[in-house]
Amino acid sequence: MPIVDMNDQAELQRYMDFLATSPNRKLTQTVEWGRIKSNWEPCYVYVTDDAGEIIGAMSILMIANEQAGGKKLAYCSKGPVCDVRDVSLVKRLYDEASDYLQQQGAFVLRADPEVEYTDEYDHALREAGFTVRNKDIVGHGTIMPRYNMLLNLSEYTLDNIDELLMTFHSKTRYNIRLAKRKGVTVDYANSPQALDLFYHTHEIMAKRQHITYRPKEYFERVLDVFGDHVRVYLAHDDEEVLSGAIAMNYGDRVWYMYGGSTNNKRNLMPNYLMQWEMIKWAIETNKTVYDFGGIFEIDLDDGLYRFKNGFTNGVTEYIGEIDRVFDEDAYRKYNEHMESL
């Protein structure tokens, strides 16, 4: 059966083993990620080869959407787990999931794989019958940003880390060194006490920037579920914590997941030194990528883009959202709402 029976522990474990060992594995495609997203309903789908071995998987989470009339968004975050450029294999996975998802009231099955955009790939997906949302969508019209900021670490070890530092923008290098000179230090833990300190900085930052933020219980689940894969980083001087971040170590990368900073002593540039220490964690654990996360626009007037670009010196453009639509009216209303935000 291509839909994992959650009561069949042997089948579930087989599925999880595939996710954990696949060269295409992603943190947001793990079963553990579904446990963090506790208000979403999971659905785990796979296909096999002629010998019965799993060759592709989709970890899908569903949630009812008000704009879609209460019908469900079925979302495969950063998946599926397979060679995503094999369009026929991707289509097999969508085919396996479609009947079940429609029975559950889904209006769309959406995936947004971390694979670079090319005209050829875009054309192949559309030819296979998918609705693809990328270059025609502006602003915050996609669930996750299509532009991502990645730092390639494949050529670096702790022995030549100074060479990596020299690839950063000169102002970024200056700010890392300034933080050190001014007495900023960075440590990490995954304890409740560290989480409390991080959350304080995260809440202050969100209110300063007038953006929404998750309840602390969400981050408590992250620490509980992922254990040693997660670190809470804290940058401080002799008097107080100045900034914090949560980083996740999984697959080929360390992912800068969430951050925060207080309104105090921002001239000490604690965020720059904290990022440098998280990058070192990636190198220490032989990761090939440090993932700064996404941006919605490439604009040097935007502080977030300017900060991340100082480390990465470039943007990766992903293919976007690959949709199979089950209810055109609900789909249109949902997209119109997203594009209006």
Cite the active site residues: 37, 112, 214, 307-308, 321
Nearest-angstrom CA–CA distance, 34 and 19? 13
Cα–Cα distances in Å, from 83 out to 6, 28, 88, 101, 315? 25, 16, 10, 23, 22
How remote is the C-alpha of 320 from its chain's centroid?
13
The answer to whether 75 and 60 are in contact (CB under 8 A) is: yes
For 236, the token pair is 């401080």
- Taken as a whole, the chain contains a residue count of 341
Q: At what angle do helices 87-103 and 119-127 cross, to 10 degrees?
A: 50
For 311, the token pair is 């480390």
For 195, the token pair is 């989480």
